[in-house]
Amino acid sequence: MSDNRCAFSSPLIAEQYTCHFGEQVVRRGGTEVACRDAAACSRCEAVFEWLKQVSLPVFGVEDDLTSMPHSVIQKIQFGSLSGLQNQLGIEPAQRVDIDHLLDQAAKQYGGIDSLPYAGLVDTITAYQLKRRQHRR
Protein backbone atom coordinates (compact mmCIF):
# COMPACT_ATOMS: atom_id res chain seq x y z
CA MET A 1 0.00 0.00 0.00
CA SER A 2 1.20 3.49 -0.82
CA ASP A 3 1.32 6.53 1.44
CA ASN A 4 0.78 8.86 -1.53
CA ARG A 5 -2.57 10.48 -0.85
CA CYS A 6 -4.66 11.17 -3.92
CA ALA A 7 -5.28 14.85 -4.68
CA PHE A 8 -8.63 13.94 -6.29
CA SER A 9 -9.92 11.52 -3.67
CA SER A 10 -13.49 12.82 -3.32
CA PRO A 11 -14.50 12.09 -6.94
CA LEU A 12 -13.01 8.59 -6.60
CA ILE A 13 -14.72 7.83 -3.29
CA ALA A 14 -18.02 9.10 -4.74
CA GLU A 15 -17.39 6.75 -7.69
CA GLN A 16 -18.00 9.52 -10.23
CA TYR A 17 -14.47 9.06 -11.61
CA THR A 18 -11.96 6.22 -11.65
CA CYS A 19 -8.18 5.98 -11.57
CA HIS A 20 -6.18 2.89 -12.34
CA PHE A 21 -3.56 4.05 -9.82
CA GLY A 22 -6.06 4.72 -7.02
CA GLU A 23 -6.50 2.31 -4.15
CA GLN A 24 -9.13 2.88 -1.46
CA VAL A 25 -7.77 2.53 2.05
CA VAL A 26 -9.46 2.90 5.41
CA ARG A 27 -7.62 5.03 7.91
CA ARG A 28 -8.61 6.55 11.22
CA GLY A 29 -10.37 9.45 9.56
CA GLY A 30 -12.34 7.21 7.21
CA THR A 31 -11.95 6.14 3.62
CA GLU A 32 -9.13 7.72 1.63
CA VAL A 33 -7.49 6.99 -1.69
CA ALA A 34 -3.80 6.20 -2.02
CA CYS A 35 -1.93 6.43 -5.32
CA ARG A 36 0.22 3.50 -6.38
CA ASP A 37 2.38 5.61 -8.72
CA ALA A 38 4.63 8.33 -7.31
CA ALA A 39 4.99 10.22 -10.61
CA ALA A 40 1.23 10.26 -11.24
CA CYS A 41 0.64 11.38 -7.65
CA SER A 42 3.11 14.26 -8.03
CA ARG A 43 1.45 15.35 -11.27
CA CYS A 44 -2.03 15.30 -9.71
CA GLU A 45 -0.78 17.23 -6.68
CA ALA A 46 0.76 19.88 -8.97
CA VAL A 47 -2.46 20.18 -10.98
CA PHE A 48 -4.52 20.46 -7.79
CA GLU A 49 -2.20 23.17 -6.41
CA TRP A 50 -2.60 25.25 -9.60
CA LEU A 51 -6.36 24.75 -9.43
CA LYS A 52 -6.41 26.00 -5.84
CA GLN A 53 -4.32 29.05 -6.78
CA VAL A 54 -6.86 30.17 -9.38
CA SER A 55 -9.99 29.09 -7.48
CA LEU A 56 -9.52 30.01 -3.83
CA PRO A 57 -9.53 33.80 -4.43
CA VAL A 58 -12.92 33.45 -6.15
CA PHE A 59 -14.29 31.60 -3.12
CA GLY A 60 -12.75 34.22 -0.83
CA VAL A 61 -10.82 31.68 1.24
CA GLU A 62 -7.17 31.05 1.94
CA ASP A 63 -5.32 27.76 1.55
CA ASP A 64 -5.63 26.90 5.23
CA LEU A 65 -7.01 23.52 6.28
CA THR A 66 -8.30 24.90 9.57
CA SER A 67 -10.52 27.55 7.98
CA MET A 68 -11.24 26.37 4.44
CA PRO A 69 -14.59 24.59 4.07
CA HIS A 70 -14.29 21.00 2.80
CA SER A 71 -16.97 21.83 0.23
CA VAL A 72 -14.54 24.23 -1.49
CA ILE A 73 -11.98 21.45 -1.93
CA GLN A 74 -14.70 19.17 -3.28
CA LYS A 75 -15.94 21.81 -5.74
CA ILE A 76 -12.37 22.28 -7.00
CA GLN A 77 -11.91 18.52 -7.43
CA PHE A 78 -15.25 17.73 -9.07
CA GLY A 79 -15.64 20.99 -11.00
CA SER A 80 -12.17 20.98 -12.52
CA LEU A 81 -12.44 17.37 -13.69
CA SER A 82 -15.88 18.07 -15.13
CA GLY A 83 -14.56 21.20 -16.86
CA LEU A 84 -11.57 19.38 -18.35
CA GLN A 85 -13.83 16.57 -19.51
CA ASN A 86 -16.06 19.13 -21.22
CA GLN A 87 -13.14 20.99 -22.84
CA LEU A 88 -11.80 17.71 -24.23
CA GLY A 89 -15.20 16.78 -25.66
CA ILE A 90 -15.77 13.78 -23.39
CA GLU A 91 -19.40 13.02 -22.59
CA PRO A 92 -20.28 14.12 -19.04
CA ALA A 93 -22.10 10.86 -18.31
CA GLN A 94 -18.93 8.79 -18.78
CA ARG A 95 -16.93 7.69 -15.72
CA VAL A 96 -13.48 8.82 -16.78
CA ASP A 97 -10.09 7.66 -15.46
CA ILE A 98 -8.47 10.75 -13.90
CA ASP A 99 -4.93 9.73 -14.91
CA HIS A 100 -6.01 9.28 -18.52
CA LEU A 101 -7.95 12.57 -18.44
CA LEU A 102 -4.87 14.48 -17.24
CA ASP A 103 -2.68 12.69 -19.81
CA GLN A 104 -5.06 13.66 -22.59
CA ALA A 105 -5.29 17.27 -21.36
CA ALA A 106 -1.50 17.55 -21.05
CA LYS A 107 -1.09 16.31 -24.62
CA GLN A 108 -3.70 18.73 -25.96
CA TYR A 109 -2.40 21.79 -24.09
CA GLY A 110 1.34 21.05 -24.21
CA GLY A 111 1.89 19.93 -20.60
CA ILE A 112 0.24 20.24 -17.22
CA ASP A 113 1.72 23.69 -16.69
CA SER A 114 -0.20 24.85 -19.78
CA LEU A 115 -3.65 23.56 -18.83
CA PRO A 116 -6.37 26.23 -18.97
CA TYR A 117 -6.60 26.59 -15.18
CA ALA A 118 -8.20 30.05 -15.18
CA GLY A 119 -10.70 28.81 -17.79
CA LEU A 120 -11.90 26.14 -15.35
CA VAL A 121 -12.83 28.58 -12.57
CA ASP A 122 -16.39 29.12 -13.87
CA THR A 123 -17.00 25.36 -13.99
CA ILE A 124 -15.52 24.96 -10.51
CA THR A 125 -17.63 27.68 -8.92
CA ALA A 126 -20.80 26.58 -10.73
CA TYR A 127 -20.40 22.92 -9.79
CA GLN A 128 -23.25 21.73 -7.57
CA LEU A 129 -22.21 19.16 -5.00
CA LYS A 130 -24.58 16.29 -4.52
CA ARG A 131 -26.34 16.36 -1.18
CA ARG A 132 -25.89 13.49 1.20
CA GLN A 133 -28.94 11.39 1.77
CA HIS A 134 -29.84 11.24 5.43
CA ARG A 135 -29.91 7.83 7.04
CA ARG A 136 -33.03 6.75 8.86
Domain ranges of the chain: 4-126
Reported pTM: 0.89
**Average pLDDT, rounded, for the chain:** 91
Residue 38's contacts (CB-CB under 8 Å, 6 or more residues apart) are 2, 4
Tally the C-alpha atoms within 13 A of residue 24's C-alpha that lie toward its C-beta: 9
Mean pLDDT of 57-61: 94
CA distances from 35 to 52, 72, 92 (A): 20, 22, 24
The pLDDT tens digits for 93-131 are 788 999 999 999 999 999 999 999 999 999 999 999 877
Contact call for residues 92 and 85 (beta carbons, < 8 A) = yes
Provide the terminal-to-terminal Cα distance of the chain, rounded to the nearest Å.
35
Q: Which residues partner with 24 through β-bridges?
A: 33
Percent of the chain, pLDDT > 90? 76
Residue 1 has pLDDT above 50, yes or no: no
Residue 2 has pLDDT above 60, yes or no: no
Contact call for residues 80 and 120 (beta carbons, < 8 A) = yes
